Amino acid sequence: MPKNKHVGDSVSKGGVDITRRTFLHKSLLTGGAVATGSAVGFFQTLTSMEVANAAMGESFSFAWVSDTHLYPRELNQRFIDKATRAFSEVEAMGSKFDFMIFGGDLAQLGDPVEIELGAELLQEVTLEKHFIPGEHDWYLDLGESWNSHFGESPWTFDHKGVRIIGLDTVGSAPDYWSARGMTDVERMGHMSALDGSQAGPWSGLGKKNREWLSATLSDWPAGDPVIIFSHTPLYEVYAPWNFWIRDWRQVHEILAPYQNVTNVHGHVHQPLYNEIGGMRSIGQLATSWPWPYAPEGTPELTKPMLRVDPGDHFDGVGWTSLAMNEGRMDYEYMMWREQVFANTRADSGTGDNQNQKLSPRIADRGWTGDWFNIERK
Ligand SMILES: [Fe+2]
Ligand SMILES: [Fe+2]
């Protein structure tokens, strides 16, 4: 299996070996993302993937918004305010973007009222829009409201030399509700709490979607860029919170031949970056709230995010502007605060090397054999 690449790995550019941390330090000294109030992903510009895929395709930009977690209007205005701010900002910059992707968790409890409210707010954005569902959109009515408003997933289209794919990573959880006689509300309740005690490792593509992904990529040249949108990450971020797809092994096998894959994912509500083989994964902000970093299992963070100010509900959230530039993915977190990244590890909330255990194979602890081949009826 391919190994996760971690901070400090030596990368070679222009024949000079240099650690990623050193490169990052130089970038911060000479760049200035921190001072701008937004956060540019510097470090991906150093990867061997980019060197291999330089000067490819036509450049374009797009916007990502996700994880608005809307409640009905009378219950919660804050999340509406933040979603509205994101959509307004995207629309204001609309001439820059070719399209917007909404990456799931539009609703909090899958209530059709919440999804209707989200559809109404999304009308602010007049760009071409594409949608993938989150688990919060799905498990009250098993996707009925979501699909009726935003269409079914997965889907694909080609854009300026890039194959673009939108996956459904949430809709094929094993049936944890029938045998227990759960109501629809109870089923949604377990999912909305990310409660793995009932739902197990619920996130995944499932056999049908994996076959679709394989067929969709079968005619695509291995060196050409692919962007895959998914709500949950396509690698094992943190199993106890279901921050991963349970069938990542098979998905990585499908993606292994492709040398320039970018997975843009939501669900984690925080800046994350990782590379496995030819796939880079970029975690996205929520507009609703930031999750803390997982205490173990993830690659050591290159640029940890500061702890957020609990008194400021616009802190630590936002949306993302992304650009495919000649086969290289650049991105800018449009986070609504002045100071984004920690200057010292003590400020980061991620612990130090002693407290943060690195366990690349954490998913194996919850590994359940043939679970990933069980299909929900
Ligand atoms: Fe979410
Ligand atoms: Fe989610």
Ligand showing the shortest atom-to-Cα distance for residue 285: 1
Q: How many A from CA of 207 to the centre of ligand 1?
A: 24
Mean pLDDT (the chain, rounded):
79
Domain ranges for the chain, please list them.
57-373
What does the pLDDT read at residue 128? 97
pLDDT exceeds 90 at position 131: yes
Ligand showing the shortest atom-to-Cα distance for residue 134: 2
Q: How many A from CA of 239 to the centre of ligand 1?
A: 15
pLDDT exceeds 70 at position 65: yes
Q: Which residues pair with 328 in a beta bridge?
A: 325
Q: How many A from CA of 83 to the centre of ligand 1?
A: 13
What does the pLDDT read at residue 377? 52
What does the pLDDT read at residue 27? 31
Q: How many A from CA of 257 to the centre of ligand 2?
A: 28
pLDDT digits (tens, 9 = 90+) for 157-197: 999 999 999 999 999 888 989 999 999 999 999 888 877 77
Q: How many A from CA of 264 to the centre of ligand 1?
A: 14
**In the numeric block, which tokens belong to residue 193?**
């709490």
Q: Which residue has the tokens 């299992």?
A: 297
Peptide bond connecting 271 to the previous residue in cis, omega within 30 degrees of 0:
no
Q: Secondary structure of the chain: what % helix, strand, coil (to 5)?
A: 30, 20, 50
**In the numeric block, which tokens belong to residue 370?**
């043939």
Q: How many A from CA of 132 to the centre of ligand 1?
A: 12
- 318-325 and 60-65 as β-strands: parallel, antiparallel, unpaired? antiparallel
Q: How many A from CA of 58 to the centre of ligand 2?
A: 32
- Exposure string (b/e) for 256-286, b if CB count within 10 Å is 16 or more? bebbbbbbbbbbbbbbbbbbbbbbbbbbbbb
At residue 375 the predicted structure's pLDDT band, cuts being 50, 70 and 90, is low
pLDDT digits (tens, 9 = 90+) for 74-130: 999 999 999 999 999 999 999 999 999 999 999 999 999 999 999 999 999 999 999
* CATH number of 57-373, picked from 1.10.10.10, 3.60.21.10, 3.40.50.2300, 3.30.565.10: 3.60.21.10
What is the three-state SS of 77-137?
CHHHHHHHHHHHHHHHCHHHCCEEEECCCCECCCCHHHHHHHHHHHCCCCCCEEECCCHHH
Q: How many A from CA of 135 to the centre of ligand 1?
A: 8
Q: How many A from CA of 102 to the centre of ligand 2?
A: 12
Distance CA 316, CA 329 (A): 23
Distance CA 280, CA 373 (A): 26
Neighbours of ion ligand 2 (CB under 5 A): 105, 134, 267
Secondary structure element (H or E) that encloses residue 346, with its range: none
Ligand showing the shortest atom-to-Cα distance for residue 65: 1
pLDDT digits (tens, 9 = 90+) for 243-299: 778 898 899 999 999 999 999 999 999 888 888 888 999 999 999 998 877 776 666
**In the numeric block, which tokens belong to residue 367?**
């590994």
Distance CA 56, CA 199 (A): 42
pLDDT digits (tens, 9 = 90+) for 2-61: 333 322 333 333 333 333 322 332 233 333 333 333 344 333 344 444 444 444 668 999
**In the numeric block, which tokens belong to residue 88?**
């307004």
Q: How many A from CA of 156 to the centre of ligand 1?
A: 23
Nearest in space to 345 (alpha carbons), one of 357, 353, 334: 353
C-alpha Rg value of the chain to the nearest Å: 20
Distance CA 222, CA 211 (A): 18
Which residues does 301 contact at the CB level (< 8 Å), separation at least 6?
7, 293, 348, 350
Nearest in space to 139 (alpha carbons), one of 120, 114, 164, 156: 114
Q: Which residue has the tokens 């081949």?
A: 373
Q: How many A from CA of 349 to the centre of ligand 2?
A: 22
